[in-house]
């Protein structure tokens, strides 16, 4: 192995050490994944034997390591993973399971945190409330994914798979365990508000009662966020209980532009960029994540901290949205 090869090998081994869970033995994991002996595994980790291309790819796929990270000079090429959503309901099942898988991985680390610049209502909060979750799932699958069997149906007639609510509950349970730092502005609530208004005006609600139930559920989300902000802890609203996970909220007058989420666990991290309404693409490319974090920090520096402080600004922020929702309720009542 030449000098350049040795440098790449050493760097790759270091990346592997950082990617593996603290309770696992790297040599054992490499031996198992590559189906090689313990001695062969240790020779690779000592740099005496070079990893083949197929071995490198297999290890990268297993440990979720982007191949471009192996060349530190390649800072402009970034690989993203994404969900393949289509008009089949099963693809949305995969989307929910993907969210659960990501949170489950993150929850295993004591120093885990989520930093969320929220252009739209973060999907996690919708899932806490079955009525709003059902409405959102109808909207996403009927209007965004264009699932054929859901077209021409009223909200009241849509039958969603029971497994979706089960996964939603598991996602919510994990989300309550992880610290969140969030940046919201007045537009964060706008998309959900407009979705409800559009579905009413388009005639997708058969009864006013159903629309009012969704509106009330949306108000519960806002109440939940407000109470979390006041206490600085995440909350299970239905049980009226606060979790041990810290909650930090900033409000911003700047346009956020897109949903951007950073997750950090010890020295590991990943970035999620929202697209196509509710879908996301993910990368753990170090250079991209550093840029995303710098953008996040700049946004936070120009925002107002409203969790556990700034009571007046916090109350005004939530009151504005609650007034708009009440105006929508009065509009529907009058029709």
pLDDT digits (tens, 9 = 90+) for 199-221: 999 999 999 999 999 999 999 99
In this structure, are residues 289 and 316 in contact, taking their beta carbons and an 8 Å threshold? Answer: no
Give the per-residue pLDDT at 75: 54
Q: Which residues contact 92 (CB under 8 A, 6 or more apart)?
A: 85, 137, 140, 141, 145, 164
Residues 137 and 251 in one domain: yes
Q: Name which residue leads in pLDDT, 171 or 11.
A: 171
Q: Which of 170-174, 246-250, 311-315 is predicted with the least confidence, judged by mean pLDDT? A: 311-315
Give the per-residue pLDDT at 73: 53
The model's pLDDT over 117-133, given as tens digits with 9 standing for 90+, comes to 998 899 899 999 989 99
Residue 37 has pLDDT above 80, yes or no: yes
Residues 257 and 180 in one domain: yes
Whether residue 166 is contained in a domain is answered as yes
**Total of domains in the chain:** 2
Residues 42 and 101 in one domain: no
Boundary (domain end) residue, out of 23, 40, 65: 65
Residue 2 has pLDDT above 70, yes or no: no
Boundary (domain end) residue, out of 40, 65, 90: 65
Three-point CA angle 213, 315, 181, nearest 5°: 85
Q: Name which residue leads in pLDDT, 192 or 282.
A: 192
The model's pLDDT over 91-108, given as tens digits with 9 standing for 90+, comes to 788 888 888 988 998 888
Q: What is the DSSP letter of 320?
A: H
Residues 100 and 210 in one domain: yes
Buried b (16+ CB within 10 A) or exposed e, 294-312: eebeebbeebbebbbebee
Whether residue 71 is contained in a domain is answered as no
Give the per-residue pLDDT at 242: 93
Residue 222 has pLDDT above 70, yes or no: yes
Residues 259 and 181 in one domain: yes
Residues 179 and 304 in one domain: yes
Three-point CA angle 14, 19, 25, nearest 5°: 85
The model's pLDDT over 165-182, given as tens digits with 9 standing for 90+, comes to 889 999 999 999 999 999
């Amino acid at each position: 192995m030449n000098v350049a090869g040795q440098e790449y090998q050493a760097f790759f081994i270091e990346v592997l050490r950082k990617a593996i869970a603290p309770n696992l033995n790297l040599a054992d994991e490499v031996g198992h994944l590559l189906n090689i002996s313990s001695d062969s595994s240790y020779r690779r980790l000592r740099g005496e034997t070079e990893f083949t291309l197929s071995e490198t790819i297999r290890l990268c796929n297993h440990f979720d390591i982007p191949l471009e990270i192996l060349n530190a000079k390649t800072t402009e090429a970034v690989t993203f993973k994404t969900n393949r959503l289509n008009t089949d309901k099963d693809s949305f099942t995969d989307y929910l399971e993907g969210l659960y898988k990501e949170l489950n991985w993150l929850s295993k680390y004591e120093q885990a945190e989520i930093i969320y610049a929220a252009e739209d209502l973060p999907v996690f909060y919708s899932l806490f409330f079955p009525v709003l979750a059902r409405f959102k799932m109808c909207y996403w699958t009927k209007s965004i994914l264009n699932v054929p069997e859901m077209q021409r149906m009223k909200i009241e007639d849509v039958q969603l798979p029971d497994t979706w609510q089960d996964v939603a509950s598991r996602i919510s349970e994990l989300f309550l365990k992880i610290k969140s730092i969030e940046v919201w502005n007045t537009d964060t609530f706008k998309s959900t508000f407009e979705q409800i208004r559009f579905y009413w005006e388009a005639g997708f609600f058969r009864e006013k009662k159903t629309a009012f139930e969704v509106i009330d559920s949306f108000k519960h989300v806002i109440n939940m966020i407000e109470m979390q902000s006041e206490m600085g802890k995440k909350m299970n609203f239905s049980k009226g209980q606060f979790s041990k996970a810290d909650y930090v909220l900033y409000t911003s007058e700047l346009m956020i532009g897109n949903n951007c989420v950073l997750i950090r666990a010890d020295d590991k991290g990943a970035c999620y960029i929202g697209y196509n309404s509710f879908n996301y693409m993910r990368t753990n490319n170090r250079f991209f994540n550093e840029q995303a974090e710098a953008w996040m920090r700049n946004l936070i520096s120009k925002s107002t901290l409203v969790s556990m402080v700034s009571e007046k600004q916090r109350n005004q922020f939530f009151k504005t949205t609650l007034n708009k929702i009440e105006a929508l309720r009065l509009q529907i009542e009058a029709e």
